[in-house]
Amino acid sequence: MGSCPAALPGSPAALSPSPSANMKLIVGIGGMTNGGKTTLANGLHRSLPNCCVIHQDDFFKPQDQIAVGEDGFKQWDVLESLDMEAMLSTVRAWLSNPQKFARAHGVNVQPGAPDTHILLLEGFLLYSYKPLVDLYSRRYFLTVPYEECKWRRSTRTYTVPDAPGLFDGHVWPMYQKYKREMEASGVDVVYLDGTKPREELLREALEDIQNSLLNRG
């Protein structure tokens, strides 16, 4: 689920003064499929102390519970394909006791690190489930252009292979639908350009998280 590496030079924990005791920060790494979410989450995870990660993809329902929609495709890219109650319960378990949660998932909490615990949530529909939306301290949303997204998707191998026409017939329309709903509901997100080099994206996010820690400390 995550690990708690020591603070690296340039990370928020290494640069900022000690924040207030028992600070908890939940950071969302959301956005489109193949936008760079997992890469960014993994980079932040390695750079931040006392940090755990929850991946939304781990909460997909079994394949036989995924409905076929009017578009003729299995509805993998809708909120109903995910067990969001289970995901919320996992987040609440972390909130109630971050140290216990970390150790239960094989994480060693760094004794010398500031008493700050960070939870990264990574997924493609993080901001469409109301009970989770208000829990975030920071919400990132990665985007890439249509053609780039389609090309990246075509190079990936999935446990359940994409059916012919799935991207244009289901994946992209659902991304647009949920993004419009998110924007209409006024969810405050920080947009990140997923075409930037991964090192630049990581540095940008780390600096932003550092500022969040300073403002909350």
CATH number where 175 lies: 3.40.50.300
Residue 29: inside a domain: yes
147 phi, psi to nearest 5 deg: -60, -40
Mean pLDDT, the chain, as a whole number? 88
pLDDT at 111: 67
pLDDT at 123: 98
Residue 175: inside a domain: yes
Q: Taking a C-beta distance cutoff of 8 angstroms, is the pair 47, 208 a contact?
A: no
Q: pLDDT digits over 137-194, tens only?
A: 999 999 999 999 999 999 988 888 899 999 999 999 999 999 999 999 999 999 999 9
Residue 146: inside a domain: yes
Q: Say what the pTM is.
A: 0.86
Provide the angle, in degrees to the nearest 10, between the axes of the packed helices 172-184 and 146-155: 130
Active site residue 57: yes
pLDDT band of 11, cuts 50, 70, 90: very low
Q: Across residues 81-108, what is the average pLDDT?
A: 90
CA pair distance 172, 166, nearest whole angstrom? 9
CA-nearest of 1, 27, 12, 32 to 147 is: 32
Q: Which position has the higher pLDDT, 192 or 110?
A: 192
Q: Which two tokens stand for residue 25?
A: 């920060």
Query: Which of the following is catalytic: 57, 83, 162, 188?
Result: 57
Cα angle 155, 157, 158 (rounded to 5 degrees) comes to 135
Residue 206: inside a domain: yes
The total of structural domains in the chain comes to 1
Residue 217: inside a domain: no
Q: pLDDT digits over 58-89, tens only?
A: 999 999 999 999 999 999 999 999 999 999 99
Residue 168: inside a domain: yes
CA-nearest of 213, 215, 216 to 13 is: 213
Q: Taking a C-beta distance cutoff of 8 angstroms, is the pair 18, 217 a contact?
A: yes
Q: pLDDT digits over 207-217, tens only?
A: 999 888 888 76
Q: Taking a C-beta distance cutoff of 8 angstroms, is the pair 156, 75 a contact?
A: no
pLDDT at 160: 83
Residue 124: inside a domain: yes
Residue 26: inside a domain: yes
- Domain boundaries, position 199: 2-212
